[in-house]
Structure 1
Amino acid sequence: MRRPAPTRTGLLLGVLLAVAGCGGTAPDGATAQSSSAPASSAAPSSSAPAASCADRTLAGLSLDEQVGQLLMVGVPAADPASGTAALSGVPVGGLFLQGRSSADASSVTASVAELQEGAAVPLQIAVDQEGGLVQTLKGPGFDRVPTALEQGRQDPAALRSTTAGWAGQLHAAGITMDLGPVADTVPAGTEADNPPIGAFDRQFGSDPEAVAASVTAVVEGLQDAGVVATAKHFPGLGRVRVNTDTDLGATDPETSPDDPFLGPFAAAVDAGVGAVMVSSATYPQLDPDSPALFSPAVLDLLRGQLGFTGVVMSDDVGDAEAVSQTPVAERAVESVAAGVDVVLTVSPADATPMAQALADRAADDEAFAGRVTESAGRVLALKERFGLLTC
């Protein structure tokens, strides 16, 4: 039986006071990476810099509200408001417009504005606008985005410019994050045997150096337009022979800490990418026992070797068959314990059990509570970096 959502009586007023003056403004598209350090509630000394908006907001959040910042939940792209009722009051930090929408840009803008109106802390609103078959918003006012394979044939400077063009349309509609670009490299000649990426031309190419150049261009183009880019699916899905969404057993036996296929992810980090999505496949040379999104070793590779300080997001843990043998609530706990900052689920019904499990673990485990605060701080810092959170 699923446990009831944690009680939040009396908390809303505290949140509203803590974030008074915070709201959405046009992102500036800055590309410097934000600090991952958790906020301190201590008053700054006369020689210390003033606390950031993210720090001040974090200091005013209860445990339940910090937990909420760690959840991004799917709602129907065609009717986003209809999915929010299933959240049962959980103050999630982000919403993912899942599926496909043929609504025009003005309608999407109005729907997104309605979602933001009900949020005490501004929401990250994400879409899958990769291109080709993977394009959430397809109605009038949103350009067709070519497949990644087609994009990879463009000169990087031209690719950055064209990306900024269609990303500007997203930004104008209130979309704050794109779950792209795909930084996976698919070896030449194996595309048809790679069901999640190569079979749908979601890769920029087969040469990791060329892929890195394209990934850099797309990251920069998105973020030039004020939309957070999300490099995925670390440490790579280009060699798996099973789709993590539909089957068990997705394994990449080749990826190692010095693998050239990590190059596109390193390039994204160097370009200041705001977020990196971690896959649910298993990588025996990195961690033989756990899927990447449950693996401290994989997350340490991203943070340590690649030097990433931004927001780490899980691939979907709602409907993905790859994690189906782990209870829903534990998917969130295991991800965050491993080092994930934002748990993505396409199922709105997952919000309550996941939030309850995260809060319960944090209440009983001081170290885990520190992880929650650390991740909530990163989420808020990313929102501030792109102008979503202001004080």
Structure 2
Amino acid sequence: MSEDELIGQMVWAHVYGSTADDTSMAAENRARYGVDTPAQVVEKYALGGVLYFAWAANTESPEQVAELSAGLQEAAADGSGVPLAITVDQEGGEVSRIGEPATALPGGMALGATFDPGLARAQGELLGSELAAMGVNVDWAPVADLNTNPANPVIGLRSPGADPAGVAELTAAQVEGLQSQHVAAGAKHFPGHGDTDVDSHTGLPIVTYDRATLDQHLVPFEAAIDAGVDIIMSAHIVVEALDPELPGTLSPAVLTDLLRDELGYTGLVTTDALDMAALKQLPGNPLDDGDIAVLAIQAGSDILLDSPDVDATVAGVQEALESGELTRERLEESVTRILDWKAERGIGAPGPDLDVVGSEEHRATARTISERAATVLRDEEELALPLDPGADRLLVVGAGSAWPERLTPLLEEEGFTVTERLESGDSPSAGYRSAAVAAAAQDDVAAVVATVDDLRGNPAQQALLEELAAGPAPVVAVLAGTPYDLAAVPEDVPGVVASYGATTVNYAGVATAALAGRELPTGRLPVAVTAEDGTVLAELGFGLRRTEEVTPVEVTFTDLPGTEDDVVEIPPATGVAYLLDGEPAGPGSHHASGSVVVTAEPDPPSSYHLADGATTRWEHTFDATAPAAAPEEDDDGATPWLPVAGAVALVVAVVTGALALRRRRRPAN
């Protein structure tokens, strides 16, 4: 390959248009790349990959996405001849570039509130199959960041939570699910973006914690590596414990010393998007796009993702090659990894039919996650959740930014009579608050359901809850933002439910599980909530569950010589279902060999939950050593001479061979 082709494989950029030859956004493509169509962008730079965005007209419908993908693959085949990585941020929740009819998911923290790796794998499989059907072969997911900072402005609900072990388990399961559908997972944002209070899209986050704290943030990434993750994305954050000067994306200490050498990662490394502001805000050291590209490669990145100036990126790398700052061998190292990955992952191969996108089965999985995620954080006597759909009339109100109108039809589906008072915007006006309080005072209102999404940071939303709580009807506050908002809910609000998002699928779990009780809520906080003075208001794992607690009975393994009698013993256990290597396994003996994994889950989850700290996973590798064959007997009970003679002959042959080998190995005099 030429140097330009090597650079092209490392450059992955977005394109404007809904088809490969679309000229409707030629002005945007020309301003950025100097050509008119998406196909021409791919051909000009011999791109290794592209990114899809809704604002670039890439994701209008599943059919359109599939057509665009096919056209871009054809352009790559006609140009470099190398299949194209086609990528998208489809995390589920608030970062989902492809909208409905693709399946809408509740998001990372909602998944974390289920504490269920089986659902995490199902989510990965769902995303993988739908993306593969649309010709997308890389998902920039899962988010493996521990969200340990309530003030985090960019991760928040995208993270599964704050517990290293729990997030690690969910991360690994999502990776396995995605990649089982031949779509690469891109775990992000290494070495952890969850303890920041600056958004790297707009500023440069700096974390000052020690190495011991950093090690906790690395746990989910180590789990992703163990699960065989194809790609790891770097974070544009300065981790002072590793490199006090350069952000992770540009730091050899982060991407080479830590990720490659210490953690042993051998897959692809990508930068986060290079058009984010963090990389242009290094104190006293302004960098242009060519500088950034060269530093990222020197740090250990294989992929230069979405540079704002691809011409400058290419020129910067070419100049570094000419000066010796970079070598061709260094580029070949990364491109070899990229090409090997493309071959092994089957990049460019056709995916499943489009009818899998938004299928009934997938929507049911999303709804199950939502129902299992809904977390009841407060339920005082005057409210007594769940409510009675047949008798209770509800008033739905809330901040416009929390989309209360999405909740109304879901409650009506459950049988409630619902009225609503709505206002746009994130700060409820005084006039709106007065109207909501007046509506709540009507005699037939059994309860008020108020959605909020930034309670800690919005005095007007706090005032709405305070004024409603002073009225006669009990109030249920639905926290559509992060559950840290529990700290700002007035004490006289008797009901609080966390939905972990304001989408329809997030509210489905609130309506069904928390308010109507058709599915009993099992969600638990995946983060701890503290007051401003540090007082713990709700511990990680807290949730008012209405299900019965059960403890799985220990699984045992019978491992005799050979394999014929090796079995897994599944005990009978009320409220517990066992899975043997992911497949349901009822009580009794199950023949097994090799390495096996047994997991336990509540059955059904609408009635039972597993005790905190209970053992839910057992692993065993059976010894395949064959037993000695029992000698045969003839009719009179005597042992026939031929098997014995054969055995003697075998022993003689082994001994003779050993002596001969010893003679060959004896050193000469």
| TM-score (ref. length: structure 2) | 0.46
Residue of structure 1 in register with 2:405 after alignment: none
Equivalent residues of 1:255, 1:283 under 8 A apart: no
Q: After superposition, give the CA deviation of every residue in 1:47-106 in whole Å (9 maximum; x if it has no partner).
A: xxxxxxxxxxxxxx1111011111111224756755435568111101011245652211
Deviates more, 1:253-262 or 1:87-96: 253-262
Asked if 1:111 is matched to 2:68, the reply is yes
Asked if 1:124 is matched to 2:64, the reply is no
Residue of structure 1 in register with 2:123 after alignment: 162
Asked if 1:222 is matched to 2:178, the reply is yes
Secondary structure, in 3 states, of the residue corresponding to 2:15? strand
Residue of structure 1 in register with 2:47 after alignment: 92
Shift of 1:247: 1.7
Asked if 1:68 is matched to 2:26, the reply is no
Where do 1:276-291 residues align within 5 Å?
276-291=232-247
Equivalent residues of 1:98, 1:346 under 8 A apart: no
For residues 286 and 133 of structure 1, the distance between their equivalents in structure 2, rounded to whole angstroms, comes to 31
Residue of structure 2 in register with 1:177 after alignment: 138
Deviates more, 1:75-84 or 1:298-307: 75-84
Equivalent residue for 1:145, pick from 102, 105, 124: 105
Secondary structure, in 3 states, of the residue corresponding to 1:315? coil
Equivalent residue for 2:332, pick from 347, 364, 373: 373
For residues 325 and 202 of structure 2, the distance between their equivalents in structure 1, rounded to whole angstroms, comes to 36
Shift of 1:158: 2.5
Equivalent residues of 1:255, 1:261 under 8 A apart: no
For residues 299 and 136 of structure 2, the distance between their equivalents in structure 1, rounded to whole angstroms, comes to 29
Structure having the higher strand fraction is 2
Shift of 1:255: 5.3
Instruction: State the one-letter code of the partner of 1:230.
Output: G
Residue of structure 2 in register with 1:133 after alignment: 94
Shift of 1:145: 2.1
Residue of structure 1 in register with 2:651 after alignment: none
Equivalent residue for 1:356, pick from 307, 310, 315: 315
For residues 15 and 2 of structure 2, the distance between their equivalents in structure 1, rounded to whole angstroms, comes to 25
For residues 253 and 309 of structure 1, the distance between their equivalents in structure 2, rounded to whole angstroms, comes to 28
Q: After superposition, give the CA deviation of every residue in 1:174-228 in whole Å (9 maximum; x if it has no partner).
A: 00100111111012xx32x101101xx0100110110001100110111011110
Which runs of no fewer than 5 residues in structure 1 stay unpaired? 1-60
Asked if 1:256 is matched to 2:211, the reply is yes
Shift of 1:256: 2.2
Residue of structure 2 in register with 1:313 after alignment: 270
For residues 279 and 203 of structure 2, the distance between their equivalents in structure 1, rounded to whole angstroms, comes to 6
Change in 2 beyond 3 A, CA 1:131/1:335: same
Instruction: State the one-letter code of the partner of 1:221.
Output: G
For residues 115 and 220 of structure 1, the distance between their equivalents in structure 2, rounded to whole angstroms, comes to 27
For residues 223 and 88 of structure 1, the distance between their equivalents in structure 2, rounded to whole angstroms, comes to 28
Secondary structure, in 3 states, of the residue corresponding to 1:335? helix
Where do 1:234-249 residues align within 5 Å?
234-248=190-204
Instruction: State the one-letter code of the partner of 1:122.
Output: P
Equivalent residues of 2:189, 2:232 under 8 A apart: yes
Residue of structure 2 in register with 1:197 after alignment: 155
Instruction: State the one-letter code of the partner of 1:243.
Output: D
Q: After superposition, give the CA deviation of every residue in 1:250-304 in whole Å (9 maximum; x if it has no partner).
A: 1111152761110000000000000000111101110011111111100120001
Residue of structure 1 in register with 2:410 after alignment: none
Q: After superposition, give the CA deviation of every residue in 1:97-137 in whole Å (9 maximum; x if it has no partner).
A: 12456522111100111111111211100000011110011
For residues 246 and 154 of structure 2, the distance between their equivalents in structure 1, rounded to whole angstroms, comes to 20
For residues 54 and 206 of structure 2, the distance between their equivalents in structure 1, rounded to whole angstroms, comes to 26
Shift of 1:369: 2.0
For residues 366 and 286 of structure 1, the distance between their equivalents in structure 2, rounded to whole angstroms, comes to 23
Change in 2 beyond 3 A, CA 1:322/1:243: farther
Secondary structure, in 3 states, of the residue corresponding to 1:312? strand
For residues 291 and 42 of structure 2, the distance between their equivalents in structure 1, rounded to whole angstroms, comes to 18
For residues 46 and 59 of structure 2, the distance between their equivalents in structure 1, rounded to whole angstroms, comes to 28
Shift of 1:233: 0.5
Change in 2 beyond 3 A, CA 1:260/1:293: same
Equivalent residues of 1:96, 1:346 under 8 A apart: no
For residues 210 and 66 of structure 2, the distance between their equivalents in structure 1, rounded to whole angstroms, comes to 41
Higher relative contact order (CA 8 A, sep 6+): 1
For residues 210 and 173 of structure 2, the distance between their equivalents in structure 1, rounded to whole angstroms, comes to 24
Instruction: State the one-letter code of the partner of 2:104.
Output: R
Deviates more, 1:146-155 or 1:212-221: 146-155
Asked if 1:334 is matched to 2:295, the reply is yes
For residues 98 and 209 of structure 2, the distance between their equivalents in structure 1, rounded to whole angstroms, comes to 35
Secondary structure, in 3 states, of the residue corresponding to 1:362? helix
Instruction: State the one-letter code of the partner of 1:264.
Output: P
Shift of 1:387: 0.6
Two-structure CA RMSD over aligned residues (Å): 2.0
Q: Which has the larger radius of gyration?
A: 2
Change in 2 beyond 3 A, CA 1:269/1:377: same
For residues 145 and 62 of structure 1, the distance between their equivalents in structure 2, rounded to whole angstroms, comes to 43
Secondary structure, in 3 states, of the residue corresponding to 2:113? coil
Instruction: State the one-letter code of the partner of 1:144.
Output: A
Secondary structure, in 3 states, of the residue corresponding to 1:220? helix
Percent identity between matched residues is 35
Residue of structure 2 in register with 1:24 after alignment: none
Which runs of no fewer than 5 residues in structure 2 stay unpaired? 30-37, 350-669
| TM-score (ref. length: structure 1) | 0.78
Q: After superposition, give the CA deviation of every residue in 1:318-351 in whole Å (9 maximum; x if it has no partner).
A: 243443531011111110011111011253xx22
For residues 252 and 238 of structure 1, the distance between their equivalents in structure 2, rounded to whole angstroms, comes to 10
For residues 388 and 214 of structure 1, the distance between their equivalents in structure 2, rounded to whole angstroms, comes to 26
Instruction: State the one-letter code of the partner of 1:176.
Output: N
Shift of 1:163: 2.1
Deviates more, 1:250-259 or 1:109-118: 250-259
Change in 2 beyond 3 A, CA 1:87/1:172: closer
Instruction: State the one-letter code of the partner of 1:256.
Output: R
Instruction: State the one-letter code of the partner of 2:247.
Output: P
